[in-house]
Amino acid sequence: MKAMQVISLTLLCALAASAQLIKLGKCPKPDVQADFDPTRYIGKWYEIKKLPAPFQKGECGTATYSLKSPGVVGVLNSELLDDGTINSIVGQAKVKDPAVPAKLQVSFDGTPPGPYWVLSSDYEGHSLVYGCTDFGLFRMEFSWVLSREPTLSQEVMDRLDAILTATGVNVNKMVPTNQDETYCIPMGQ
């Protein structure tokens, strides 16, 4: 049993060093979007920046959401890989508690559900997403800034960074996503 704990801790430390998404301590409980309306959230969103994640390796990232049923949103995430191919994955996000519809659980084929919390969205311009899962003494964090357009104003970015900072996210660890239209041509942007 002790050997398994050492192996697990070693793997967590390696992930923490390389991906910057594992931290010491429990997940924060940030406020989420009040009166979130999943029906207004559907459609295409462009990824503007994110905390690095091992499952995201490309650029030109987009997320397209569709309403499957009340409280269930279809998810199609796509990105352009370095070799020019498009990598896509399909999943769904479910409202966990109807009293807090901005706290969704997202899952993809073969993966356990993970938190997808909408901290802020005006539905027509920006969305700020945060997710965190506790693993004993550690937590794993994800965050994305999304926009309906391939760019977002600095004023909005500063406002969203302030929300993330108040949540405890180091915004300096976030990486921008290339959304240059000439580079993203294979994605149809």
pLDDT computed for residue 2 by the predictor: 55
Token pair for 92: 């769904």
What is the C-alpha separation between 72 and 10, in angstroms, rounded? Answer: 37
Range of the domain at 103: 2-187
pLDDT computed for residue 9 by the predictor: 42
pLDDT computed for residue 140 by the predictor: 92
Token pair for 170: 């180091």
pLDDT tens, N- to C-terminus, the chain (189 residues): 454 443 344 444 444 444 457 888 999 999 999 999 999 999 999 999 999 988 899 999 999 999 999 889 999 999 999 999 999 999 999 998 999 999 999 999 878 899 999 999 999 999 999 999 999 999 999 999 999 999 999 999 999 999 999 999 999 999 999 999 999 987 876
* Structural domains counted in the chain: 1
Q: What is the DSSP string of 46-84?
A: EEEEE---TT---EEEEEEEEEEETTEEEEEEEEE-TTS
Rg (CA), the chain: 17
Strand partners, 142: 131
Alpha helices in the chain (DSSP H): 2-19, 38-41, 154-167
What is the C-alpha separation between 167 and 125, in angstroms, rounded? Answer: 21
pLDDT computed for residue 107 by the predictor: 94
The CATH number of whichever domain residue 34 belongs to comes to 2.40.128.20
